[in-house]
Amino acid sequence: MSHWIVQSLNLFASLMLILAFAMLSQRRILSLIHLFTLQGLTVVCATATVAYATGRHELYFSAALTFTLKVLLIPYLLHRLIQRLKVQWDVETLINIPTLMLIGIVLVVIAFNLAAPVAQLSASIARGTLGIALACVLLSFMMMITRSKAVPQVIGFLAMENALFFAATSATYGMPMMVELGIALDVLVGMLILGVFLFQIREQFDSLDIHHLERLKED
């Protein structure tokens, strides 16, 4: 295996981790969308590199599908969504940013310890990046549960799906094509449903804070 391929995969994994931390600490929703787009582009490059290294041409289709959805279509839909909702900032987090960073570092350590036994059993050329992929999943989940606004939570969910796809590529050279198409369709339909859901929240409460939904339970 060429040394530059392994180094490239390690570079993409490092970029995924850096972007995950950047998204965790980001307050501005527009910048959060840009970081998500860069993360999607990183997944595309990593998938294409694995496809070239292994000769599995179906991974090129996976990379093209990810590029269409995660780099072009979904960021466009998110931009349109925040323009319609007139949302630019997300200044509220349940935990302050320095504490979030410290918790994020702890999650990375945990992820590497959990992934180490699994990585040893993997025959993938990218098995060394499995710990980073798991760390990105945990950081994305952390972003979801520490934001009070709906839009950043949606982006956190999409970022977690990015990390899961990166983990699948690293450990098993991707998923069966029908599974990937099904997931892509689910993500796209989910985006449309969430868009309608966010508009309904805005119309009812004039805010995107999900804590307002507690009023419905009380009623």
pLDDT of residue 178: 47
Residue 45's alpha-carbon distances to 11, 39, 156, 158, 181, in angstroms, are 10, 10, 21, 18, 19
Which one has a higher pLDDT value, 28 or 102? 102
Answer whether 85's CB lies under 8 Å from 208's CB: yes
How far apart, in whole angstroms, are the C-alpha atoms of residue 211 and residue 145? 12
Q: What is the mean pLDDT of residues 168-183?
A: 61
Which one has a higher pLDDT value, 35 or 117? 35
Q: In this predicted structure, which of 6-15, 119-128, 142-151, 161-170 has the lowest mean pLDDT?
A: 119-128
pLDDT of residue 34: 92
pLDDT of residue 105: 93
pLDDT of residue 217: 47
Say if residue 75's pLDDT is above 60: yes
Predicted confidence (pLDDT) per residue in 2-60, tens digit: 677 778 888 898 999 999 999 988 888 888 889 999 999 999 998 888 888 877 788 88
**All structural domains of the chain with their residue ranges:** 3-218
